[in-house]
Structure 1
Amino acid sequence: MQLRRFSDPREFLQYAEAFLMEREAEHNLILGLTNTLIHDPEVYPQFYLAVIEDAENITLAAIRTPPHNLIISHVAHLDALTVLANDVQSAYGILTGVIATVPIGKTFADLWQGMTRQPYRLNMRERIYQLSHVNPVIGIPGTFRVATPDDRLLLIQWFAAFRQEAMGVVDNSDVPQLVDRYFVSETRKIYLWEHDGEVVSMAGRGGPTPNGIRIGPVYTPPEFRKKGYASACVAALSQLQLDTGRKFCFLYTDLSNPTSNHIYQEIGYEPICDVDEYRFDAPVN
């Protein structure tokens, strides 16, 4: 097996796109991040892009945007994980974490721990969903609109709350810059559900693939939950993406949250595959 690294995301996409498109929904994060590297290069100034191939075909693709997790594609041959781990270790020494489908993530985490003595822990179990038709959400009061710079302060508060609640992120010093990017990016936008002049829920979209786009983040403050606002907002945003030419919408759900998994399926999202996120701790001597 041979590993090939890429310094140009366009070259990586041209080389690996056919392989990634065989499982477009499963690979939506890799495809979407590569799109960001191409069209918004300032977002991730450093990156790792690689494929592993045997004599005939690509067997694995991987992407990392430090300091974030390594993301691994579908793997045709598990032996490719050893080749990848050796190259990633030579590039970074240690990792913060890995995201991959079940059971690829666990296999890589075991391998990485043995190589680096970095203990791992399962941080989140997720499911990728895909939608091609929206079941309308009826009877939820309010209106749907795109966020504007006038909403900036509210979005900063909500993004920080979302990241702390969903991902355990405590340091949100980068949130203002993150929010500002949504106002200038062509591929990433935030949309809001508003009721009686008050914003009650938000949903974003970004990471486009050739045929689809990822929905997220989705956040509703605790005081506005269980009123259907998130369902209405996500349904409206998903329909907007289909109306503008997308064939699919994708989203990730936390499997520990049965409520969100249920409401997305009611909207029309269908499960595709399960994904695990493993976090690596400091090496143990």
Structure 2
Amino acid sequence: MSNLAVTRYHDIDAFLKETETYLQQHEIKNTFVLITAYQIQKARKDESYYCGAVWNDKHDLIFAIVAQNNGFLFASSLSDENHSEAIGLLIGNLLEASITIKGLHGYQPVLDTLRDSIETQSSMTFVKKFATLSYELREVKWPSQAKEIAQAEPTSLRIASSTLDDRDILRQWTYNFIQDAFDDPKVITQSVDSICHDMIASKGLYFMCINGVPVSMAWKVRPLRYGTSLAYVYTPSEHRNKGYGATCVAMASEAILKDSEYITLFVDINRDPTNNLYTRVGYKYFGEAGRLILP
């Protein structure tokens, strides 16, 4: 690929003005680039960050990254190609900036190409922290058991509130989810109380209840122009193996799809990719994503 031009943006507004339309055309794979850019834009703080893009001679966006100082670098993915030349050029520009990155986050195969480029051009080396399978949903497929539970009179779905009871449940469930979901819980840098605050403030934390008692939860996160994501899906041990998890996901997903074209979520790469809780309610495999960190 020839006639590539690197642009470093010193203002997040300028970066989004030029790249947002391109990134939204492949919104799912660019979720984290867009969300991080929006967070920087909303914060309006003097924090240090890097955002840059590579354009071809037709001014088509080829590759873009957003990185917060002492944080993660988030890489775009605009096609099925690696675009190794563009990645190499932009990484060279990044390395000239006075910014420190602690890890990389993106979809494959871009993630591995990004790592190789940084390791070739610097003394940094990265190790795999975790890899995930990405899934997409555009229409709920109701398993018979989940449909039966959802339609039963005792079952309801509601948004978590700031009441003491809801906060206590969220605090315990969020802590348990982190312990269950990650080999190294330290991968979550926020405190449990901070995460719970965000859950309630977002007005997107769904409780599925039986006779008014919460038995499962799912959190709507990362809202974008066309779609959003589901995270922190959790059912406590005493309510497992009853179909509540699948029912909660199906009910929450159906509610979310009233306002969104699609929902994505990430699943541990060690799960069965074709037969799991999410595929049974209609989620379809989209791609592999992951996170790499400095050891």
TM-score tier by shorter-chain length is 0.7 to 0.9
Does residue 1:143 correspond to 2:156, yes or no?
Answer: yes
Figure out how many residues of one structure are paired with residues of the other and give that number. 277
The alpha carbon displacement at 1:147 in A equals 0.5
Does residue 1:90 correspond to 2:91, yes or no?
Answer: no
Residue 225 of structure 2 corresponds to: 210
The alpha carbon displacement at 1:146 in A equals 0.5
Residue 52 of structure 2 corresponds to: 50
Residue 26 of structure 2 corresponds to: 23
The alpha carbon displacement at 1:217 in A equals 2.3
Aligned-partner SS, 1:140 = helix
Aligned-partner SS, 1:14 = helix
Does residue 1:154 correspond to 2:149, yes or no?
Answer: no
Tell me if structure 1 keeps the 8 A contact 2:28–2:264. yes
The alpha carbon displacement at 1:176 in A equals 1.4
Alpha carbons of structure 1 residues 99 and 195: separation in structure 2 relative to 1, 3 Å: same
Matches of 1:42 and 1:159, distance apart in 2: 29
Aligned-partner SS, 1:63 = strand
Tell me if structure 1 keeps the 8 A contact 2:48–2:99. no
Tell me if structure 1 keeps the 8 A contact 2:118–2:124. yes
The alpha carbon displacement at 1:209 in A equals 1.8
Matches of 1:193 and 1:165, distance apart in 2: 20
Matches of 1:237 and 1:22, distance apart in 2: 25
Matches within 5 A, 1:176-215: 176-185=193-202, 189-215=204-230
Gaps of 5+ in 2: none
Could you tell which deviates more after superposition, 2-11 or 148-157?
A: 2-11
Larger Rg: 2
Percent of pairs with identical residues: 23
TM-score normalised by L of structure 1: 0.84
Matches within 5 A, 1:223-242: 223-242=238-257
Tell me if structure 1 keeps the 8 A contact 2:70–2:100. no
The alpha carbon displacement at 1:261 in A equals 5.9
TM-score normalised by L of structure 2: 0.81
Matches within 5 A, 1:51-66: 51-56=53-58, 57-66=60-69
Matches of 1:275 and 1:166, distance apart in 2: 16
Letter in 2 for 1:179: C
Aligned-partner SS, 1:201 = strand
Tell me if structure 2 keeps the 8 A contact 1:35–1:207. no
Could you tell which deviates more after superposition, 45-54 or 55-64?
A: 45-54
Residue 185 of structure 2 corresponds to: 169
Aligned-partner SS, 2:148 = coil
Matches of 1:160 and 1:154, distance apart in 2: 10
Q: Please identify runs of 4+ aligned residues in structure 1 that moved more than 6 A.
A: none
Alpha carbons of structure 1 residues 161 and 112: separation in structure 2 relative to 1, 3 Å: farther
The alpha carbon displacement at 1:239 in A equals 0.8
Matches of 2:189 and 2:17, distance apart in 1: 35
Gaps of 5+ in 1: none
Matches of 2:208 and 2:29, distance apart in 1: 28
The alpha carbon displacement at 1:134 in A equals 0.9
The alpha carbon displacement at 1:240 in A equals 0.9
Letter in 2 for 1:81: I
